[in-house]
Amino acid sequence: MQVDLLIVGQGLCGSWLSYEAQRAGLSVCVLDTQRPNSPSRISAGIINPITGRRQVEVWLSDELLAHAKSAYSSMSETLNRPLIRQTTLIDFFPSDQMCKSFQDRIAQNGKFVSLAQETQITMLPFDQPHGAGIINPVFLIDLPAFLEGNQKKLIDTGSLLEEQVEATQLRIEPDGVRYKDIRAERIVFCEGTAGLSAHFFPNLPFAPNKGEVLILDIPGLQRDHLYKHGLMLAPLSDGTWWAGSSYQWSFNHPHPTPAFREEMERTLKSWLTLPFQVIDHRAGVRPATLERRPFVGFHPQLPRIGILNGMGTKGCSLAPFFARELIRHWFLEEPIHPEASIERFSIAR
C-alpha cells in the first residue's frame, strides 16, 4: 500500500488528523489497536472555557471554542450524525467563600460566567446551601459517535488497519517511510500515552495523569445541563450519566480502584437527592504534559516523522485545532503555535 500519510492511533488526535489530511486531498492509512480504555474512549467529551478553582479562562479559549464549534459541526455533516451540543454548566459552590470568589471573578470579568438565579436551581435535586454559578457556553461532544463514525468511514475506504505498531520496524527511506508493506510520504504518531514516539522524540516532558469515572443511571435528572460540585455530572448520548473524574499524578496501575468508587458514591449521596445506580467504572491515563501544552510538529532532523500528542485534559478542543495546524504547516508552511510546536525543545536522536 502507498499513501501520503501514515497515522499511528485513532483516538481524538489520529481521527482529527486523518480528517484534516483527507480534506487537504491526502491519502491516509491509520493503524490502531483500538484499546477500549484509551482516554478518548472514556472521556466525557466536555469543552469548558473555564478551568480551576479560580475560574480562569483556558489557554486560547476563544480560538479553541470557535474552531471546535465549526469543526465538529462539519464533522457531524460528514458522518451524518449530531456530534456537538451547546449547553451550560451549573457549578454548585462548596462553601460561601467559593461563592464570594465566583462573584469577585464576575466583577472583574464576566465572560463565560454568571450567578445562577434561585429560580434556575431550587427545583434541581441537589443539596445546594451555598448557591451556584453558571458557565456558558459549554460544549458536549458525543465521542462514541465521533470515534465510531470516523472508524467506519476509514474502514469503508480501506484506510484503517487494526495493528500494534512496533517503532523498530519503521524504515526511513530517501523518498518516504516504510512500515512493513505500507509506504508513505510521512508518518505522524498520535498514540497518546503509549509512548511509541519516544523512539524518535525522546525526553518530551510528558506528565501522564490518571482519571477514573463512574457511569450512572439517574432516572429523573434533567438532561439539559452539566452539573458540578467537585465532581462533574455530564449527560451521555446513550441516556446514562458520566460522573468524574479523578486527577492522579502518581499511580501504580491504570485500572479502576475501589477507593475511587467508594469516594464518588459517598460524594454523590451527600449532594444528589435522587437515587442512582452505578453501571460501569472506567479508568484511563491522560497524555498530559508538564507545561500543559501539546506536542505538535515534525522532527527537526527527520522531517518525515511527526507527532500530535500531549492534549492532556483538553483533547476535545485541542486535537481538532492542532490537527489542522499540523496539516497547514506541512502544506502551506504556516507556523505552529510556538507554545505547542515541538520546535521549543531541542530534540536529538
Q: Which residues bind ligand FAD (CB under 6 A)?
A: 8-14, 31-35, 38-40, 42-46, 163-165, 190-192, 194, 196, 211, 213, 244-245, 284, 286-287, 309, 311-317
Rounded least distance, CB 310 to ligand FAD, Å? 8
Instruction: Choose among 123, 309, 103: nearest CA to 200.
Output: 309
Instruction: Choose among 301, 294, 303: nearest CA to 324.
Output: 294
Of the pair 213, 264, the CB lying nearest ligand FAD is at 213
Rounded least distance, CB 26 to ligand FAD, Å? 19
Rounded least distance, CB 193 to ligand FAD, Å? 6
The neighbouring-strand residues paired with 113 are 135
Rounded to whole angstroms, the Cα distance separating 104 from 117 reads 17
Rounded least distance, CB 52 to ligand FAD, Å? 15
Rounded least distance, CB 187 to ligand FAD, Å? 12
Of the pair 113, 296, the CB lying nearest ligand FAD is at 296
SS3 sequence of 235-262: ECCCCCEEEECCCECCCCCCCCCHHHHH
Of the pair 99, 308, the CB lying nearest ligand FAD is at 308
Give the DSSP H or E segment for 265: helix 258-271
Rounded least distance, CB 333 to ligand FAD, Å? 25
Of the pair 99, 135, the CB lying nearest ligand FAD is at 135
Q: What angle do CA 122, 127, 278 make, to 5 degrees?
A: 115
Of the pair 67, 128, the CB lying nearest ligand FAD is at 67
Which residues, other chains included, contact 44 with Cβ-Cβ below 8 Å and sequence gap of 6+?
140, 213, 232, 234, 236, 242, 244, 245
Of the pair 97, 279, the CB lying nearest ligand FAD is at 279
CA terminus-to-terminus distance, the chain: 28
